[in-house]
Amino acid sequence: MQINEGHSTPCFAGPFLQWSQWQLLDSLLPTGGFAHSFGLEAAVQTHLVSDSNDLKTFVIHILENTGSLLLPFVYSASMLPTLENWHKLDKILDATLTNEVSRKASISQGSALMRVASAVFSEVPSLKTMRDASLGLGTVSFHHAPVFGLICGALGFDRTSSQRAYMFITMRDVISAATRLNLIGPLGAALLQHQVAPIAEVILEKWMNSAVEEACQTMPLLDTVQGCHGYLFSRLFSS
């Protein structure tokens, strides 16, 4: 049983929480994550990723950058899931995601996640009320990391699990993109995911519980390459 830290308990209890938590992390949840390759498609076409070793390294580097750049937003949103804090984080992240490709992907995924979560997790009515209030304002971008943190907080994840969950879904989505790009088969993907998990945990421990002011990017080459997505001759993914 997860114990909420630092915010009011939602109005449903115990074991039922776990069903909702697993549902949030399940790839079955229709959040459109699979339209995005996290720069993998561009990395393949610029020959940064040519074989399965390169792929494993790429996944690890994406996780490193997720840790350094995005975890602070997940952390802060899950710790203080108020409308005001969420909007503040959304604005800061919008200025921080200087890469247009990843900024648009973040907005697209965050909007979809908020829409789905507020409809599905109806026992947490604050999600819907916050979403409606934010749509009304027109100045909220609905970036992914703060939305994810907000929902984790609402579903009873503790702060470490919220950040671990974000690393988990990022890895899940990059590896899924790799299978769709035919870089790896389904069993290979599962093996890779399992191999990288302990490395992802080390990355999590390095970057977790950091302030948003410390958010930084640590993979400038990948960032540059991801920005080339729009120049790709043929593409499967939107980013």
Query: Which residues bind to another protein, rule: CB under 8 A?
Result: 44-48, 50-52, 57, 61, 64, 68, 91-92, 95-96, 98-101, 103, 181-184, 206, 214-228, 230-234
For the CB of residue 114, give the shortest distance to another protein in the complex, in Å: 22
Residue closer to another protein, measured from CB, 84 or 214? 214
For the CB of residue 88, give the shortest distance to another protein in the complex, in Å: 10
Residue closer to another protein, measured from CB, 91 or 172? 91
Residue closer to another protein, measured from CB, 54 or 158? 54
Residue closer to another protein, measured from CB, 85 or 126? 85
Contacts of 131 (CB under 8 A, 6+ apart): 114, 115, 118
For the CB of residue 57, give the shortest distance to another protein in the complex, in Å: 8
Report residue 169: phi and psi, to 5°: -70, -30
Contacts of 108 (CB under 8 A, 6+ apart): 32, 35, 36, 238
3-state secondary structure 114-145: HHHHHHHCCCCHHHHHHHHHHHHHCCCCCCHH
204 burial (CB, 10 Å; 0-12 / 13-18 / 19+) is: buried
For the CB of residue 9, give the shortest distance to another protein in the complex, in Å: 33
CB-side neighbour CA atoms (13 Å) of 22: 6
For the CB of residue 219, give the shortest distance to another protein in the complex, in Å: 6
Residue closer to another protein, measured from CB, 151 or 225? 225
